[in-house]
Amino acid sequence: MGNIDNKNLENSIQLDFQKEMSYGDYLSLDQILSSQHRLSNHHDEMLFIIIHQTSELWMKLILHEMNSAIACIRRNDLEPSIKMLARVSRIQQQLIQSWSVLSTLTPSEYMQFRDKLGHSSGFQSYQNRLIEFALGNKNAHTLAVYQHQKELHSMLLNALHDPSIYDAAISALVAHGLSVDKEALERDWSQSYEPNESVENAWLTVYRNPEQYWDLYELAEKLVDIGNQQQLWRFNHMSTVERIIGNKMGTGGSSGVSYLKRVLDQQFFPELLSLRTKL
């Protein structure tokens, strides 16, 4: 009886709190809206802070959806993953649009508070790095940025060795009876994916028989969507940085625009692009 009474009491307290809970309470708005701390007196630093904070929130949601989608694909439950990836694509559009808002910051305005940023840089965004890993762009060297943060470094190291969403999709091809070379399945997941002819042939079978392999076909197109959106985000990032600081070195020590241009050459899901020439 005692345990039942305690449980009833806890439920009653929770319900009472829910009755009193406001919009601000539920969303923790006090914490969120008091987290913009300008280090200068310049008006436009607020824009700079909020753009990056909201981008990190959108990235958190991308990772929430992507990680769930990978789990669904790995257990060959493709339908929920397709919905999740459709949402990821829409979130990416929000992130792409944010660059146009930041581009209202002129070079002269940015230089008024740039020195206050110290060595902080978007290059250090661990969530963006996790997204790139989940998409298959693996690079162990990027972890050096996080060596002084042990828990963060450990989390990123685990993500580096986890299968990407494309690795999961290739396994789904096999689960549907399509033939894929062993080296494309049992590989070192900490390395960026390299194109494989058997994978391309398997996807070609899917695209030539979409009714037979509808879930795989839909999954493939959703992957192409998010890969394309990520490239657009990268391009808008590069062009916005170029517009504001030109070819100056980044605040975190990166080479700035030249680095961002090189990143654009790193494509996702290569066979899903190359097969289009053979259809």
Max mean pLDDT among 49-58, 140-149, 246-255 falls in 49-58
Q: What is the mean pLDDT of residues 241-251?
A: 77
> Could you give the CA distance from residue 162 to residue 150 in angstroms, rounded to a whole number?
18
Segment 158-213, tens digit of pLDDT: 999 999 999 999 999 999 999 999 999 999 999 989 999 999 999 999 999 999 99
The pTM assigned to this predicted structure is: 0.89
Q: So where are the chain's domains?
A: 42-278
List the single range of 17-26, 92-101, 173-182, 190-199 with lowest mean pLDDT. Answer: 17-26
CA distances from 80 to 69, 70, 221, 279 (A): 7, 10, 15, 28
Q: What is the mean pLDDT of residues 241-246?
A: 85
The architecture that CATH gives domain 42-278 is Up-down Bundle (1.20)
- For 103-122, the pLDDT digits (tens) are 999 999 999 999 898 877 77
- pLDDT at residue 3, as a whole number: 59
The DSSP element (H or E) to which 172 belongs, if any, is helix 165-175
pLDDT higher than 60, residue 14: yes
- The DSSP code sequence of 32-71 is HHT----SSS-TTHHHHHHHHHHHHHHHHHHHHHHHHHHH
At residue 123, the pLDDT reads 74
Confidence category of residue 248, pLDDT binned at 50, 70, 90:
confident
